[in-house]
Amino acid sequence: MFAQIAFNGLVTGVIITLPALAVTLLFGVLKFPNFAIGGMMTVAAYMVFALNAQLGWPLVVAAAIVAVVFGGLSIVIDQLTFKPLRDRGGITLMVASLGLGLILENIARVFYGNAARSFAYELARPFRFLDIRMNREQMIAMIVAVVAMAAMYVLLTRMPIGRAMRAVADNPALALVRGIESPHIIRWTNFIAGVLLAIAGVLVGMDRALEPPVGNNYLVPVFAAAILGGLGSPLGAFAGALIIGLLSELSTLVIAPNYRIGVPLVVIALILVFRPQGLFGQPYIRK
């Protein structure tokens, strides 16, 4: 029983990893918490639903195409909404992102209503390993998330664009001196975040049912993971997500499952009081 719950927690954590990474990358470069990520996950998931369940494309193909398209779309969204507000301070951007999240969730609702839906793919029997029941969705989620994390690691540490992103996150002025232009990096960051969010949307829609609030329901755990790891730290987001996922599921042993969301909340509060920079973050210096 314990092992089963821990396994479920691990899967939840791995799924949260992707949006947490998106949050942390966006925060690093743009310096505001983007609350629109929930709505973005929802819209991307419904786009995949349209291609997969309605047009009958295989789920993998649909997800891959939507991931790339949605990467582009999130650049457009950023240009339309956040670019004009760029120098107005974090709160303004944050409020705008909250509004944007509501818009996106409700665009999905206008087209598909409130009914829960699911992607079209063959269901498989769950298999057992050491008394732990693993269903195929969980295995797929694990593999996809781990591959995406590995790709992100290579991108951020080995590729010029990833290093440039980290440079801009660290110090935009210094990055500019070295010839790294931040508008270019902002576009790339949004593209990568869009891809991550689209993949996360599909995984979340597979794990639970696909309905309009699906993305926004993950907002608190995702931000808890990003804060726990230290906002702006990619490695931290990964560790934070696993811890939040595990703690949330394990908490169901002692508290009612409905209040799982209380766990990330308590974690955020404790972190803010005792270790504001997060597990892996640098102490935040306001410039």
Partner 1 sequence: MISYLVLMGIVLCILAIVAVALNFQWGSGGMVNFGLAGFYTLGAYTCALLMLKAGGNTFFATLGAMTMVAAASALIALVTIRVTEEDYFAIVTLGAGEMLRLVSLNEDWLTNGALGLTGIPRPLASLVPFEYYHYFLLALGAVLLGGTVWLLQRIGRSPFGRIMRAVREDDVVAATLGKHVLWARVRIFAIGGAFIGLAGSLHAFYYQYIDPTQFSNIVIAYAFMSVIAGGRGALSGSILGAAFVMLLLEGSRFAKDLIPALSSDQLAAIRIIIIGVGLILVLIYRPQGFLREYRLQVDVASGKMKT
Stretch that binds partner 1, among 31-39, 61-69, 136-144, 154-162 (CB under 8 A): 31-39
Q: How far is the CB of 172 from partner 1 (least distance, A)?
A: 18
Q: Tokens 């891959």 appear where? A: 64
Between residues 7 and 218, which has the closer beta carbon with respect to partner 1?
Answer: 218
The answer to whether residue 35 forms part of the interface with partner 1 (CB under 8 A) is yes
Candidate residues 98, 141, 169, 210; the one interacting with partner 1 per rule CB under 8 A: 98
Contacts of 138 (CB under 8 A, 6+ apart): 7, 8, 11, 207
Candidate residues 223, 225, 241, 246; the one interacting with partner 1 per rule CB under 8 A: 223
What type of residue is 200?
A
Distance CA 265, CA 12 (A): 16
Q: How far is the CB of 257 from partner 1 (least distance, A)?
A: 10
The answer to whether residue 282 forms part of the interface with partner 1 (CB under 8 A) is no
The answer to whether residue 102 forms part of the interface with partner 1 (CB under 8 A) is yes
Per the DSSP assignment, residues forming a β-bridge with 128 are 133
Contact criterion met (CB below 8 Å) for 44 and 202: yes
The answer to whether residue 237 forms part of the interface with partner 1 (CB under 8 A) is no
Distance, C-alpha 70 to centroid of its chain: 14
What type of residue is 39?
G
Angle between helices 2-30 and 182-207 (to 10 degrees): 160
Q: Tokens 């576009």 appear where? A: 187
Distance CA 221, CA 12 (A): 10
Stretch that binds partner 1, among 88-96, 120-128, 141-149, 197-205 (CB under 8 A): 88-96
Q: Tokens 């269901």 appear where? A: 123
Candidate residues 227, 237, 242, 247; the one interacting with partner 1 per rule CB under 8 A: 227
Candidate residues 40, 51, 63, 100; the one interacting with partner 1 per rule CB under 8 A: 100
The answer to whether residue 25 forms part of the interface with partner 1 (CB under 8 A) is no
Candidate residues 219, 228, 242, 244; the one interacting with partner 1 per rule CB under 8 A: 219
The answer to whether residue 252 forms part of the interface with partner 1 (CB under 8 A) is no
Contact criterion met (CB below 8 Å) for 198 and 73: no
The answer to whether residue 256 forms part of the interface with partner 1 (CB under 8 A) is yes
Q: How far is the CB of 72 from partner 1 (least distance, A)?
A: 20
